Amino acid sequence: MDLNRLVQKCSTVSHMKQLQAHLTTNGRFKSPFCPVRSKLIEFYALFPLPHQAHSLFLQIDTPSTNDFNAILRGLASSYQPAAAISWFHRMLCGSHKIDALTCSFVLKACARVLARPQTLQVHSQVVRSGFAADALLGTTLLDVYAKVGDLGSARKLFDEMPVRDIASWNALIAGLAQGNFASEALELFKRMREEGLFRPNEVTVLGALSACSHLGALKEGEKIHQYIRDEKLDMNVIVCNAVIDMYAKCGFVDKAFVVFDSVKCKKSLVSWNTMIMAFAMHGDGSKALELFEQMGQADVKPDEVSYLAALCACNHAGLVDDGMRLFNSMAGNGVNPNKKHYGSVVDLLGRAGRLQEAYDIVKSMPMVPDVVLWQTLLGPCHIYGNVEIAEIASRKLVEMGSNNCGDFVLLSNVYAAHERWKDVGRVRDIMKNRDVRKVPGFSYVEVDGAINKFFTGDKSHEKWREIYDKLDEIRFKIKEFGYVAGTNYVLHDIGEEEKENALCYHSEKLAVAFSLISTSEGTSIQVFKNLRICGDCHFVIKLISKIYNREIIVRDRVRFHKFDEGSCSCKDYW
């Protein structure tokens, strides 16, 4: 039988080992003309059996570029992509000839491990080897630079490319959007349209919509949606799904549902999952569960993502019984719960104050609980003052090597609530000794197409004096409505007045104050925050929405809060 056809039929390690034994026995494996040798090496590297691939490679007297490329390609796609970078250095040190494919494979590995220095080294090798004119390789480099966060090198490479094609534009836009440079991705999308050399296609708008979703840039997202309709790109279900996700993440779940309900193409499973998760993020548990039920009527079988989205919806809406019913029905419907499903149920029970049940779920899991699960259990211990379970979860997190500031802060909070100041001090000492650093909270708003970012206590904005004056006005007005600062949300053992001042200048309050002075009366305000909104800010923004007659939408790390006329869509359950 032809060896190429034979290797295509090999789908297991056992098959490959039989083929390897056959080639070794008849002496064909060492032949430089063996057509499937590289396929064997690549298979073992990818499967992943890197040691087997290494052992096989060492049997080759004079490895060719194809042999090296095979192991590089396999490792770059395996669970240990960093090994591909090591093999590339080994190839260079041995003076083996490289080609454009060699560079392409190692660049893929660099992107996966976010290896910026190694990307620069590969780029210099590309130039020295004369591959700089390779448009495909240039596009790959663009993508990697954007993903590793080297915006300067990405832009320089893009501007210096002798020939830029639609793949080049798409790669940089998508890379920037995925590499936390969403603003730059949108600017490049605008530049592409202004230059007019290429018309954005499905891939282009996917990158731009992703950037809008990340920033919550509704106005830009609406412009892109209009372009999609004009160019009839909405016949692509993947594009439609991205539009749904964009509207949901910009705070407008109703607009997301209009798109979902009116798509011209056949809805995919991802369409349903995206919409269910959208309702979940916005705290509309009943609509999410209703849509989940409609999936079955539309002959769309829910998968593990569908169940996770529905569980999240129950979680955010406090629908404990519905959530437990869903969770218990999963196995019977052919979906085995994974750690994320268990985590959602633990969170669901924990938020409802059923901490012992949540802990029992963790103990009964068929897999080993990970850091996220113990963090999920620790979270509600502060709300309900459960010291015992908080200490258990904290010990597990320390044993697992967690160095997350939030874990220690939550335990400190539990002790502080019981006025156990010695234990608070002990936790702080541990944080100091382990060099645990707090993740800085920030919020941002889009006003007149510009993104304005604020940190807690920030005075870097050009209008900071006006912002602080507005905050003073807000403090005066909300006290007339009986506001008392929630100083229990401040973690430090300091005076009440200092605590109140610390609360006043949280980043989301600065963002709201800036929006009030920068937009006309009645304009909706949208704030996006990287951390979970604190209880004091939540209460204050409810009052602001009533006093100033503004709809205020806050997207925090977990979900959306829609404040209107003094109440919040979460019904104070988050």
- The 3-state secondary structure of 82-102 reads HHHHHHHHHHHHCCCCCCHHH
Q: Which of 413, 438, 463 is the last residue of a domain?
A: 438
Cα–Cα distance between 315 and 570 in angstroms, integer?
A: 11
CA atoms within 13 A on the CB side of 151: 13
Q: Minimal CA–CA distance to 292: which of 282, 318, 303, 283?
A: 303
User: Which stretch of DSSP H or E encloses residue 364?
Assistant: helix 355-364
Q: What is the largest CA-CA distance in the chain?
A: 91
Say whether pLDDT at 497 is over 50.
no
The β-bridge partners of 447 are 450
> pLDDT tens digits for 69-97?
888 888 888 888 898 999 899 898 888 89
Q: Which amino acid is at 508?
A: E
The structure tokens listed for 312 are: 């999240």
Say whether pLDDT at 486 is over 90.
no
The structure tokens listed for 532 are: 């979970």
The β-bridge partners of 446 are 451
Say whether pLDDT at 39 is over 80.
no
In a domain? residue 360: yes
Over the chain, what is the mean pLDDT? Answer: 86
In a domain? residue 270: no
Question: With contact defined as beta carbons under 8 Å apart, do 190 and 176 qualify?
Answer: no
Terminal C-alpha separation, the chain: 64
Say whether pLDDT at 102 is over 70.
yes
In a domain? residue 288: no
Q: Provide the residue count of the chain.
A: 574
- Domain match, 419 and 461 both: no
Question: With contact defined as beta carbons under 8 Å apart, do 537 and 509 qualify?
Answer: yes
Say whether pLDDT at 299 is over 60.
yes
Average pLDDT over residues 186-204: 92
- Domain match, 462 and 365 both: no
Confidence (pTM): 0.78
- Domain match, 409 and 521 both: no
In a domain? residue 371: yes
In a domain? residue 425: yes
Cα–Cα distance between 89 and 76 in angstroms, integer?
A: 14
Residue 426's domain is classified under what CATH number? 1.25.40
The structure tokens listed for 281 are: 């993020």
Q: Residue 351 to residues 6, 104, 320, 455, 559: CA-CA distances in angstroms? A: 56, 48, 9, 28, 14
In a domain? residue 88: no
% pLDDT > 90, the chain: 49
Average pLDDT over residues 419-426: 84
In a domain? residue 508: yes
Helix 464-480 to helix 507-518 angle, to the nearest 10 degrees? 100
Q: Which of 438, 469, 488 is the last residue of a domain?
A: 438
335: helix, strand or coil: coil
Average pLDDT over residues 349-361: 94
> pLDDT tens digits for 300-325?
999 999 999 999 999 999 999 999 99
Q: Residue 393 to residues 338, 380, 388: CA-CA distances in angstroms? A: 20, 11, 9
pLDDT at 18: 64
Q: Which domain holds residue 563?
A: 443-568
- Domain match, 362 and 409 both: yes
In a domain? residue 204: no
Residue keyed to tokens 């309709």: 229
Cα–Cα distance between 72 and 90 in angstroms, integer?
A: 11
pLDDT at 496: 46
- Domain match, 447 and 528 both: yes
Q: Which residues contact residue 394 at a Cβ distance below 8 angstroms, ignoring those fewer than 6 apart? A: 378, 407, 408, 411
- Domain match, 434 and 451 both: no
- Domain match, 394 and 492 both: no
Pairing type for strands 450-455 and 525-529 reads unpaired
- Domain match, 447 and 550 both: yes
Q: Which of 398, 415, 438 is the last residue of a domain?
A: 438
CB-CB neighbours of 483 under 10 Å: 16
Q: How does residue 392 score in pLDDT terms, banded at 50, 70 and 90?
A: very high
The β-bridge partners of 445 are 452
Cα–Cα distance between 15 and 47 in angstroms, integer?
A: 13
Look at phi and psi of residue 441 and say left if phi exceeds 0, alpha if psi is from -120 to 50, else beta: beta
CA–CA–CA angle 447, 485, 538 (5° rounding): 45
pLDDT at 529: 92
- Domain match, 451 and 376 both: no
Say whether pLDDT at 520 is over 90.
yes
Q: Which residues contact residue 347 at a Cβ distance below 8 angstroms, ignoring those fewer than 6 apart? A: 315, 358, 376, 379, 380
Task: Give the total number of structural domains in the chain.
Answer: 2
Which of the pair, 34 or 244, is modelled with greater confidence?
244
- Domain match, 455 and 553 both: yes
User: Which stretch of DSSP H or E encloses residue 567?
Assistant: strand 567-568
- Domain match, 560 and 531 both: yes
| 125-129, 226-230, 287-291: least confidently modelled range | 125-129
Residue keyed to tokens 């997190």: 397
User: Which stretch of DSSP H or E encloses residue 263?
Assistant: none
Q: Which residues contact residue 138 at a Cβ distance below 8 angstroms, ignoring those fewer than 6 apart? A: 132, 157, 161, 168
- Domain match, 432 and 459 both: no
DSSP class of residue 267 equals P
Q: How does residue 450 score in pLDDT terms, banded at 50, 70 and 90?
A: confident
